[in-house]
Structure 1
């Protein structure tokens, strides 16, 4: 594990002393070589290149937001946790604060007389098993109004030593909606002791995000428009529906794509058979490639070539090649796919399945199974910087224990006894005094502070806020939910903990707060 004493012995330097009074402001330039970004413990890792940001924003459709799972791994402990940690002695210098910026006229709603802050929301990501996950997070003050604070384990996988994929922040998230936009992660800033040693006394992350985008309503388009959109990096989805023969006929006569499965020798006829219909039957890439001659398309229940409808006498023989269809899938779907299509990953990292089909002729009395494809595209609009839209919480470090704080987040998972009091789709809060947290050896958590709180997992990454003003909905970030504890072993979660925010935390924050993410391409 990490030799933590090494860091406590290092001189903190004049920069911290000069900025550690209340209301300290952020200084420095946006370059990685400026004094503000020279913290030796800061590790900055790229999350998403700007060219992919809008695609990732489009990926998180309302249905995906609702179906994502709470991230439980590496965030809970249960038992009679009696030994208290050393958070009381974790301060390494004078206390300090950075003032918040707020949008006092905006609210994420009220909950038992508490105005909920729109700075708090959910972070969504795809783990390395391809599962869509979420935690909580908050916007925090920074020079370029582009910073999100969350738990380190909600951004960075210490097992693979890589950040998670498709990371976004949605402030004010409510029941699958993103009222203030979607902000794609550009860079994650962590303490080296978390990424290298998996030390949860440094389980925090500061994520620089790109300017926000807002998803426009989905549009139903034909396959040609869908393919052109996704080939340019846009987001789209394909929907497959099993239908009856009449619906299949109607859809394909309008130019829609379809396929037929289960065609056997008893279903097949020749092209001259009265009432014969040409249908697309999927085959393998290898079998498709071996078919000589032209590539045909299906339209209006007739085979076409280069857009011209062929008369029946010129129809191709059964088994002739049809145009390919490319399907965009998730990593989980990609890994699970066992069909005849060809799986591959493109240069942008998209998971694709290319489907190959050939012509078959069947009678209208066929017992085959019919499917139609609908294609939707999602476009996004630019809406500006995170901090300009929702504000940013202040920041504090080296604060005494025993201060009253609010914690906010989106708890969802059940208690250990099976009781499930939260949905995860609406923001919740706790209020209490900070105290030294129990030692959790499993995570090397020795210097955490805690508040009594019945949050269940899902709240990971949510803020601890000092001096929270109900009218302005702002306060000072003094921690992020790291662990959810059942500290007395009764199968009910009763505490949430955070790493103690000291001068080292301020160094990582200050480094991140002076980084610029650049502009999204239009």
Structure 2
């Protein structure tokens, strides 16, 4: 545990500064620091609506966390081994899926994983990876500390913080869970000690948006409304159009489309159709055979008619009669290729205010379960790591989209991972090529592919390039020890409640 030491000569001044600047936080003797996020149910409901409105537009607009900016990817050093600060321990997972006897070939993704979304000190919408973790009230999320505290900009908790398990392209299948209280290690929230880059956040019950209803309103009501709204154009008769345009109150709500004449074109013109056009016998005989404008249209058509029709016929065809007194008209046709015209159309604009029903989605752990928790475990053991990588590698190569979760598997390093630039002295490392966006994702010890559960024994914190080829090939996590357990245990017993 690294903490700033106050020189004896500056004790009075430094103590005064700490008392003023760290009021309400943990003391140096206490490992647990906690900060409120959404302080009330009304605030939580508004935050959920912020992310969910307009079919999850804000969720879709968010970008992956960029604490390290790609250029911070470096080669790690290693030293010594890990020594537990207390006895090892575990907390069992909850909500295990039904075990299957089938032989599993692929990795089954846990329902517990998802994304945390937040707005940073610059007002940017960002996201990290995270997981639901076991707690007394089934309301806890585990992620990286830098996905909760804005250590890059304003040194405070992120605003509008939510967890969306199973997130996919703006969808929140199990609801949106708004953060209520953040629990971190004092050394991270106070000194930005990345050896303590983990956080546990209690969340309100999930908020699930139901169907959307539309209420028809006047134009003035529509313009005054600041929320979600819509307009529809409805085709009407010319009589209604004429009446509406005479009323100065409704004139702007009506519009029309002028008629268009048909246009003769070639047979290969987009949208062209063919019809027959009557011509004289000479024109027909001179026409070509085949497919094209003014080419022959079938054989001449001879029909028997009565004398009245015969006498009144003034067309281009040929009239004839036989010795028995029968009357005939022979017609000649060529092809006419054209794009059809259209009649004038008339429209009325209707205005609507949209509203979505919101319902309580229940507790996080009841919906997706919760991974177990483990601390002071031996290193060099296999772990399964999950996350939503999205950022390009330092060389610009972009292997991931951040749309779907990815995973890595392997044994953690048996030696300490050290980074002087990041002030890291005791991380654990794993060979893995996931990039930013995966930060905050869980490192699951003893992961059961059949049950989709394991024990959170780390969270992705940093990214490294051990081969020196400008590609991420290693990720790191703080070592979860007894102090990590004290932060987790403090969070795991706190109730949060409903968002409305």
| TMscore range, shorter length | 0.5 to 0.7
The two structures have a TM-score, normalised by structure 2, of 0.66
Does residue 407 of the first structure (1) align with residue 398 of the second (2)?
A: no
- Where do residues 224-263 of structure 1 align in structure 2 (5 Å cutoff)? 236-237=227-228
Partner of residue 412 from structure 2, selected from 408, 420, 434: 434
Q: Is the 8 A contact 1:94 1:398 kept in 2?
A: yes
Q: Is the 8 A contact 2:206 2:499 kept in 1?
A: no
Report what 2:484 is aligned to: 505
Report what 2:286 is aligned to: none
Report what 2:465 is aligned to: 486
C-alpha distance in 1 between matches for 2:213 and 2:104: 36
Report what 1:97 is aligned to: 90
Q: Is the 8 A contact 1:134 1:458 kept in 2?
A: yes
**Structure 2 gap segments, 5+ residues each:** 7-27, 254-348
Does residue 217 of the first structure (1) align with residue 205 of the second (2)?
A: no
Q: Is the 8 A contact 2:44 2:499 kept in 1?
A: yes
Q: Is the 8 A contact 1:184 1:209 kept in 2?
A: yes
Could you tell me how far 1:378 is from its partner in structure 2? Answer: 2.8
The two structures have a TM-score, normalised by structure 1, of 0.64
**Structure 1 gap segments, 5+ residues each:** 7-37, 255-274, 279-298, 304-370
Could you tell me how far 1:421 is from its partner in structure 2? Answer: 1.6
Q: Is the 8 A contact 1:75 1:483 kept in 2?
A: no
C-alpha distance in 2 between matches for 1:130 and 1:249: 43
- Please report the RMSD computed on the Cα atoms of aligned residues, expressed in angstroms: 3.6
Q: Describe the SS at the equivalent of 1:185.
A: strand
Does residue 140 of the first structure (1) align with residue 133 of the second (2)?
A: yes
Q: Describe the SS at the equivalent of 2:58.
A: helix
Measured against aligned partners, the alpha-carbon deviations of 1:258-308 in whole angstroms (never above 9, x if no partner) come to xxxxxxxxxxxxxxxxx7986xxxxxxxxxxxxxxxxxxxx53489xxxxx
C-alpha distance in 1 between matches for 2:427 and 2:91: 22
C-alpha distance in 1 between matches for 2:70 and 2:86: 30
> Are residues 106 and 469 of structure 1, via their aligned partners in 2, closer, same or farther at CA, if it must alter by over 3 Å?
closer
C-alpha distance in 2 between matches for 1:408 and 1:455: 9
Q: Is the 8 A contact 1:58 1:379 kept in 2?
A: no
Measured against aligned partners, the alpha-carbon deviations of 1:6-65 in whole angstroms (never above 9, x if no partner) come to 9xxxxxxxxxxxxxxxxxxxxxxxxxxxxxxx9822111111121121221122232322
Report what 2:3 is aligned to: 3
Measured against aligned partners, the alpha-carbon deviations of 1:310-363 in whole angstroms (never above 9, x if no partner) come to xxxxxxxxxxxxxxxxxxxxxxxxxxxxxxxxxxxxxxxxxxxxxxxxxxxxxx
Q: Is the 8 A contact 2:74 2:464 kept in 1?
A: no
Moved over 4 A (4+): 75-80, 222-228, 247-250, 275-278, 371-375
Report what 1:386 is aligned to: 364
Q: Is the 8 A contact 1:111 1:428 kept in 2?
A: no
Partner of residue 119 from structure 1, selected from 107, 112, 118: 112
Report what 1:330 is aligned to: none
Report what 1:270 is aligned to: none
Partner of residue 300 from structure 1, selected from 250, 257, 262: 250
C-alpha distance in 2 between matches for 1:420 and 1:496: 17
Higher CA-based Rg: 2
Could you tell me how far 1:96 is from its partner in structure 2? Answer: 0.7
Report what 2:196 is aligned to: 202
Report what 1:15 is aligned to: none
Could you tell me how far 1:478 is from its partner in structure 2? Answer: 0.2
